[in-house]
Amino acid sequence: MKMKTTFKAVAAAVALSASASAGVAADLSALPAPAEPLMIDVAFGIAGVSDYRFRGVSNSAKNPAVQGYVELQAFDWIYAGVWSSSVSFPNRYGLTDPSAEVDFYAGLRHTWGAFSLDAGYLYYWYPGESKAFPGQRQTDYWEIKALPSVAIGDFGSITGNIWWSPDYANTGGDDLYLSLAPKINLPISSIPDVAFYVSGELGKQWLGKNDFNFNPKDFWTWNLGGGLTYKAMTLDVRYSDTNLTRNECFGNTGVRSWCGSAVVAKIAFDTSLNKLK
């Protein structure tokens, strides 16, 4: 969930309580006591995207990708999970051509009224990497994150993204990503379980000088789109872009065409074990 973007946040643990059965009104003691909220849950989901974009840059060579995750949630505070996506970094571009991206993550997530905070750690693992040239490194690395969010009633929300690593993609250079992501709920549906929204993100990626004596280009990225939800299903379509030129994109990624504009479609299914009961 590069955490990723796109991959962008999973719902907090769902607490279900048993409702009291109907009884004689004059004898309230006959009603059963409410059950304690379920404090452990397992969330999971699967998605298909037309292009896996991470901070505006394609990680699937502008091709479709399949993604999925499973996450343990406990006590409305603690979570840990694994997220994975198909990727494409071909050797013909001098890249390591891993078989997938697998993200291991954990953290704390909680809500206080309209404010919520998600703070955690994420490790990016790229299994099956090969070396396109002698001395090339594996690209596994880790980041820490803080995602504060404020809900504006039923109208929508604004979420901040703060991500930092001291060793981006195992290059020896640090990275910092900051963004704001507003979401607006659209009250235009009268169909049960169907909801519409528009959302976007504006962020900037800073990349420090690495061990190869190369200073990558810092860049802005943005996306804007919308979608609909039906029960556990989400359909999302958005426009994504960066301010990198083709030459700057080549300097950062080794490929000129991965940082340009794109319309990205995603269909996802997300639920949890407690919701299925």
Domain presence at residue 227: yes
Domain presence at residue 14: no
pLDDT tens-digit readout, 225-253: 999 999 999 999 999 999 999 999 999 99
SS3 140: coil
Domain presence at residue 19: no
Give the CB-side neighbour count of residue 112, counting CA atoms within 13 A.
Answer: 3
CB 80 within 8 A of CB 71: yes
- Domain encompassing residue 113: 39-276
pLDDT tens-digit readout, 18-74: 333 333 233 433 444 444 556 999 999 999 999 999 999 999 999 999 999 999 999
CB 71 within 8 A of CB 10: yes
State the pLDDT at residue 37. 54
Domain presence at residue 251: yes
70 bridge partner residues: 44, 82
Query: Which residues lie below 8 Å from residue 109, measured CB to CB, with a gap of 6+?
Result: 12, 77, 78, 79, 116, 117, 118, 119, 120
pLDDT tens-digit readout, 110-159: 999 999 999 999 999 999 999 888 878 899 999 999 999 999 999 999 99
Domain presence at residue 1: no
CATH code at position 115: 2.40.160.40
Alpha carbon separation from 36 to 13, 15, 275 (Å, rounded): 14, 9, 16
Domain presence at residue 33: no
pLDDT tens-digit readout, 173-194: 999 999 999 999 999 888 899 9
- The structure's pTM equals 0.84
Number of structural domains, the chain? 1
CB 202 within 8 A of CB 224: no
> Which two three-digit tokens encode residue 175?
């990275």
Domain presence at residue 214: yes
Domain presence at residue 272: yes
State the pLDDT at residue 134. 80
Q: Over the chain, what is the mean pLDDT?
A: 88
Query: Which residues lie below 8 Å from residue 161, measured CB to CB, with a gap of 6+?
Result: 145, 147, 177, 178, 179, 180, 181, 201, 203
pLDDT tens-digit readout, 76-88: 999 999 999 999 9
